[in-house]
Amino acid sequence: MMKRFVLARRPDGVPKADDFRQESGDIPRAPDGGIVVATTHISVDPGMRSRLSGDSYAAALALGETIESAGIGRVIESRNPKFAEGDLVSGALGWTTHLAHPGKGLLKLDPAFYSGAVPPTCAIGVLGVPGMTSWFGVHALSDLKPGEVFLVSSAAGPVGATAGQLAKAKGARVIGIAGSDAKCAWLIDELGFDAVINYRATPDLGVSLNAAAPEGVDVYFDNVGAEMLDQAIRVMRPHGRIVISGQVAEYNAASPRGIRHVPDFISKRLTMRGFVVLDYATQFREAQAAMAAMLRDGTLKFREQVVEGFENLPAAFIRLFSGDNFGRCLVRVG
């Protein structure tokens, strides 16, 4: 039997379980020239929140439509010469246990590449959109130079943790902002960050930022927005660069808070730029090869939080907005 989650209603604020509806039906058959995929892992990502309410980087999800997300699955029926039964694939599979797919846009995972230190789940994590966001945010947008100070928010998340390590590899001093002592310890002890601030434990984030970066910050890699972005602006050095990757603090707000310290952009000659990583899709393969080499030699690490059971997808997604998740969140279909 096929099961899927669809959008039942548009969320008001933080999504709730009944914003999603589980449906079931027969496992589909492969269309002419297509395949049927049995999903094994599904990603949950805070960035998709905006599409549940309206247009964003892509059109709003329609009511009754399967929730979109990246996933990994195995081909169980093929009428496409490019795919054989048993092939492992990744792509935009969505919150469903099975789907019929034309095959176009799916990546067949080479078992010789995705092995050892690079398991298949990397295809929707550190070598997928989160990792590519980190790579191009650092390498294409930040203009980061050796010896500069790199600050990243949501530093224990899949994008922040990867961006921090890539900045470290470029010779930067790396400071992270995370939400628990356990996350802070992992970033320093395992990933080599130079300093980390637990924003939940500090009475004044601005004071803590000044203490961690007394000479200021050259690059701020922002995944949060709102007050955290404002505080980061205050510690930027002249000619500092701000890369806007995500705005998790704004996704559930009826009216975005925005930024308030705009005069700093004038006095410090700051620049701020947002981006959609799919703009760099033609360069993904080269970046993935470089990052896979770093995974294999141990200079790049990642963490996954795997939730068991397809029925737990809505809860896993909702938990992203509490800050309690630790690493790349995946649901194993089971």
Whether residue 293 lies inside any domain: the answer is no
| Residue 157: predicted pLDDT | 94
Residue with tokens 């004038």: 266
Same domain as 167, residue 74: no
Same domain as 263, residue 136: yes
Nearest to 5 by CA among 50, 44, 34: 44
| Residue 70: predicted pLDDT | 96
Tally of domains within the chain = 2
Same domain as 161, residue 77: no
Same domain as 171, residue 77: no
Whether residue 296 lies inside any domain: the answer is no
| Residue 244: predicted pLDDT | 97
Whether residue 263 lies inside any domain: the answer is yes
Same domain as 61, residue 158: no
Same domain as 143, residue 253: yes
Same domain as 254, residue 175: yes
Contact 175, 184 (CB under 8 A): no
* DSSP-assigned states of every residue in 147-174: T-EEEESSTTSHHHHHHHHHHHHTT-EE
Whether residue 182 lies inside any domain: the answer is yes
If DSSP codes are grouped into helix, strand and coil, which group holds residue 50?
A: helix
Low-confidence ranges of the chain (pLDDT < 50): none
Nearest to 287 by CA among 134, 88, 119: 134
Same domain as 148, residue 235: yes
Residues of the domain holding 239 = 129-278
Whether residue 289 lies inside any domain: the answer is no
Kindly report the CATH number assigned to the domain that includes residue 61: 3.90.180.10
Measured between alpha carbons, how far is 325 from 50 in angstroms, rounded to an integer? 19
Same domain as 81, residue 24: yes
Measured between alpha carbons, how far is 320 from 196 in angstroms, rounded to an integer? 20
| Residue 150: predicted pLDDT | 99
Whether residue 274 lies inside any domain: the answer is yes
| Residue 311: predicted pLDDT | 97
Sign of the C-alpha dihedral, residues 251, 254, 255, 257?
Answer: negative
Kindly report the CATH number assigned to the domain that includes residue 245: 3.40.50.720
| Residue 54: predicted pLDDT | 82
| Residue 86: predicted pLDDT | 97
pTM of the model: 0.92
Same domain as 110, residue 133: no
Same domain as 117, residue 13: yes
Whether residue 291 lies inside any domain: the answer is no
| Residue 59: predicted pLDDT | 86
Nearest to 222 by CA among 333, 113, 91, 133: 133
> Which pairs with CB-CB distance under 8 Å and at least 24 residues apart come from 289-297?
290/135, 291/126, 291/127, 291/131, 291/135, 292/113, 292/118, 292/122, 292/127, 294/169, 295/117, 295/118, 295/122, 295/126, 296/116, 296/117, 296/118
Whether residue 34 lies inside any domain: the answer is yes
- CB neighbourhood size of 169 (10 A): 14
Same domain as 206, residue 309: no
